Amino acid sequence: MSSERLAALLDEYAELEKRLADPAIHADQNTARRVGRRYAELVPLHKAAGELEQARADLVAARELAAEDPAFGEEADSIAATLPALEERLAELLIPRDPHDAKDVIIEIKAGEGGEESALFAGDLLRMYTRYAERHGWLTEVIDAQDSDLGGVKDVSLAIKTKGVPDGGNGVWSRLKWEGGVHRVQRVPVTESQGRIHTSAAGVLVLPEAEDVDVTIDPNELRIDVFRSSGPGGQSVNTTDSAVRITHLPTGVVVSCQNEKSQLQNREQAMRILRARLLAVAQEQADAAASDARKAQVRTVDRSERIRTYNFPQNRITDHRIGYTAYNLDLALAGELDGVLDALAEADRAARLAGDTELTRR
């Protein structure tokens, strides 16, 4: 256990507590939210350190009393037995955590090969994440979507947010960061007349939503094009050049948005996605430049890698990274994802305690 790191974090906790007690900080809600999130991250550490310090003090007192009265020996032994668990808990909290854990996310779901069946599956994934968010009391917002002819989605961007400051600094990213990758489905498509099982896939990209302070974007490095929306229609959707495409010239990242009625609204939404993507690019570059320092960032698997299979005939969901299998696919698609997400979180915790920074790959 690093006493220097513990002291530094407890000093940071005390400083943040003072800042939050100052009414002036709440004049800027973005700053107050950011400071509040960091404070919430350190609350469990402060509590664990306090409990350990109190237990050690109680043990000293009990042993002093036992020297005069042996009856206190049993109490001293009982207190001593609690120390290993308290020390282990504090040591775990001192492991550098993912710096994005308190953040909200933007999830992008794209239909892959498989035509309408893939688009229908992408729609199933959209509903799954939306229902999971509802179960946790989170807010959801479809930023942009391109629907398919049979009711699925070809491409959709979904923002998921916590209400207020997340407890313990565990925001949406801390739960859904595992979802990035290729999701495969095995079932009989609605378009299949012979009853044969088909396999198709959809890609999921999970990005921590960036704040203005996370990413600096030079307006001169943006190319902004407008075009006519290709959506299903509605008030002025297909009759004006309201859709927006933004290209970040230094990186080549391209984002488009056409869901909103006005060009200004589409531009604002596209900038949200662009900031999130540029934050992810910056993180990947930092990881590549300092691979030895990756303990501070929990990494998901390669986005091109198949991470999970949804088998409808067997009602089975399998996560290939950790060998997790459950026969409750119907419940998972209804938003009950905690089983697989808890298993992924535990695998990551065990890997980080062992000094590894990636999930075990199967």
CATH number for the domain spanning 144: value is: 3.30.70.1660
Same domain, 202 and 320: yes
Q: Rounded mean pLDDT of the chain?
A: 85
Q: Is residue 100 part of a domain?
A: no
pLDDT one-digit tens code per residue, 8-28: 999 999 999 999 999 999 888
Residue type, 332: A
**Can you give the pLDDT at residue 154?**
92
Q: Looking at the DSSP assignment, which residues form a beta bridge with residue 227?
A: 243
Same domain, 110 and 174: yes
What is the count of structural domains for the chain?
3
Same domain, 204 and 322: yes
Q: Over 70: is that where the pLDDT of 1 sits?
A: no
Q: Is residue 246 part of a domain?
A: yes
pLDDT one-digit tens code per residue, 83-133: 999 998 998 888 888 888 989 999 999 998 768 899 999 999 999 999 999
Q: What radius of gyration do the chain's Cα atoms show? A: 25
Residue 43, classified by CB atoms within 10 Å of its CB into exposed (0-12), middle (13-18) or buried (19+), is: middle
**Can you give the pLDDT at residue 56?**
94
Distance CA 348, CA 362 (A): 14
Same domain, 203 and 226: no
* Number of Cα atoms under 13 Å in the Cβ half of residue 79: 19
Q: Is residue 359 part of a domain?
A: no
Give the structural domain span for 111: 105-212+302-354
Same domain, 18 and 153: no
CATH number for the domain spanning 266: value is: 3.30.160.20
Same domain, 207 and 226: no
Instruction: Give the DSSP H/E element, type plus range, for residue 62.
Output: helix 29-68
Please tell me whether residue 270 adopts helix, strand or coil conformation: helix
Q: Is residue 295 part of a domain?
A: no
Q: Is residue 99 part of a domain?
A: no
Q: Over 70: is that where the pLDDT of 328 sits?
A: yes
Nearest Cα to Cα of residue 258 among 141, 145, 92, 173:
145
Whole-number Cα distances in Å, 244 to 111, 220, 227, 339: 21, 17, 6, 39
Q: How confident is the model at residue 324 (pLDDT cuts 50, 70, 90)?
A: very high
Contacts of 152 (CB under 8 A, 6+ apart): 111, 116, 118, 119, 120, 121, 122, 123
Q: Looking at the DSSP assignment, which residues form a beta bridge with residue 107?
A: 158, 206
DSSP 124-150: HHHHHHHHHHHHTT-EEEEEEEEE-TT
Nearest Cα to Cα of residue 150 among 203, 202, 190, 193:
190
Q: Over 60: is that where the pLDDT of 156 sits?
A: yes
Alpha helix (H) ranges present in 181-337?
263-289, 329-333
Q: Is residue 127 part of a domain?
A: yes
**Can you give the pLDDT at residue 104?**
92
**Can you give the pLDDT at residue 283?**
79
pLDDT one-digit tens code per residue, 206-220: 999 887 667 889 999
